[in-house]
Structure 1
């Protein structure tokens, strides 16, 4: 594990994530009480609403991830996550606090339209965070098991491709939990085709990109 990544995670918890999660949960709870949004207004059973909510939230995260790679302003912040040269479980914490805030703001219109139950939000947070730690880890599981799991969810091998030094590979495998989004929208890069085991971004190899203070100010002073 890298101390700088843990430091960013703690900083995000107090500066970005706590506030964002509070506002998102409060907003979802309000919509639920007012029966606003497609799912809230439907006559579907609770379990079906829960499943739909988790699926929709995962799809929203997929598109947010694609967006931070596509839009240069957002990439300034997200690139901090990709400058990690030693991919491991602590890499899951390596995000700029403003990216965390913007990611939650991005969800608001969809939460309003869809009316996702607060229980689905809670369940998805547990699933999402568990799988993000899992697929950023540097554990090696049996290849046959990895291949089987990667037909359904994002595995460490699949996500390592996304952290490759090659842009073609970096701009693929955007899914956070269910791999189906990459397969549906044509961004899936399969196992066995990865061209490198090195991680990071070309041009971001200097030591300064691994320092906490520089990562906080990096989006405002660089635009690569």
Structure 2
């Protein structure tokens, strides 16, 4: 098996370990949801399928041959560090955009903010369209822009996946960690009911520089959308705006 494929398998393995720890000692008592764990497993599998299929439909060899930069000289470690820093900046810009533009919020991102829980299952709850966009952004940064070594590109993807899972992990973390990585407590603020704003970056540096950084010591509020629209997965997959009639502009992705 190709080393890059082995790195890809680390993502579901990491997810399952973090899920087990979260089940063992959950930090925050969110509303229960029947079948929620299996919904998460299902979306994790869907992400795996999308991540495997999209690169097959993209001329990756041609793109690598026409890269803007040759980042292979950075090596594996250097390429991974540079790759993730650049990718995190691109993802910050993308994340703010899907919150700021109501049509994009409805079409791609509202489903991720719908659960009244911030946990491992929610970390993988994305619309398939957004899954494709995220894979394409990763390919664009690692192959076209930076031209990284394939292993460094794969590790960049793993780091991005880990950061995404970590910030949803239902565990307690120390406040000082929030300047290095977005903590679950901070990401709960991002998912706070009626707000859905701030803390857009996996790397806090982008939020710190751009004035959207929030790093509470603890979190005790409510997250997600109002019931019953928080569970209308079918409608959200069909790209219908399930939120606007319930509690107004905040549900349409308006920033505060």
* TM-score (norm: length of structure 2): 0.69
Q: CA deviation at 1:23?
A: 4.9
Q: CA deviation at 1:115?
A: 2.7
Aligned length: 207
Q: CA deviation at 1:80?
A: 0.6
Query: In structure 1, the residue corresponding to 2:67 is in which secondary structure?
Result: coil
Q: Distance in 2 between matches of 1:154 and 1:114?
A: 25
Q: CA deviation at 1:79?
A: 0.7
Q: Please tell me the root mean square deviation across aligned C-alpha atoms, in Å.
A: 2.8
Q: In the alignment, which of 172, 175, 182 is matched to residue 140 of structure 1?
A: 172
Matched, 1:84 2:115: yes
Within-5 A mapping of 1:55-66: 55-66=85-96
Matched, 1:185 2:192: no
Matched, 1:171 2:171: no
Q: CA deviation at 1:153?
A: 0.8
Q: Quick one: structure 1 residues 118 and 71, their matched pair in 2 at CA, closer, same or farther if it must change by over 3 Å?
A: farther
Residue by residue over 1:162-205, the C-alpha shift from the partner in whole angstroms, topping out at 9 and shown as x without a partner, is 111142xx2200112x21111122211231597x610013xxx2
Q: Is the 8 A contact 2:116 2:222 kept in 1?
A: yes
Q: Distance in 2 between matches of 1:45 and 1:4?
A: 38
Q: In the alignment, which of 105, 108, 128 is matched to residue 97 of structure 1?
A: 128
Q: Is the 8 A contact 1:173 1:188 kept in 2?
A: yes
Q: Quick one: structure 1 residues 117 and 220, their matched pair in 2 at CA, closer, same or farther if it must change by over 3 Å?
A: farther
Q: CA deviation at 1:20?
A: 2.6
Q: Distance in 2 between matches of 1:44 and 1:138?
A: 35
Query: Which residue in the other structure is 1:18 paired with?
Result: 52
Task: Pick which of 56-65 and 205-214 moved more.
Answer: 205-214
Query: Which residue in the other structure is 1:128 paired with?
Result: 160
Task: Pick which of 63-72 and 111-120 moved more.
Answer: 111-120
Q: Quick one: structure 1 residues 84 and 114, their matched pair in 2 at CA, closer, same or farther if it must change by over 3 Å?
A: same
Q: Is the 8 A contact 2:40 2:121 kept in 1?
A: yes
Matched, 1:38 2:38: no
Q: Quick one: structure 1 residues 186 and 117, their matched pair in 2 at CA, closer, same or farther if it must change by over 3 Å?
A: farther
Q: Distance in 1 between matches of 2:161 and 2:140?
A: 22
Q: Is the 8 A contact 1:81 1:95 kept in 2?
A: yes
Q: Distance in 2 between matches of 1:133 and 1:49?
A: 22
Query: Which residue in the other structure is 1:118 paired with?
Result: 150
* TM-score (norm: length of structure 1): 0.77
Unpaired runs of 5+ residues, structure 2, are 1-35, 245-256
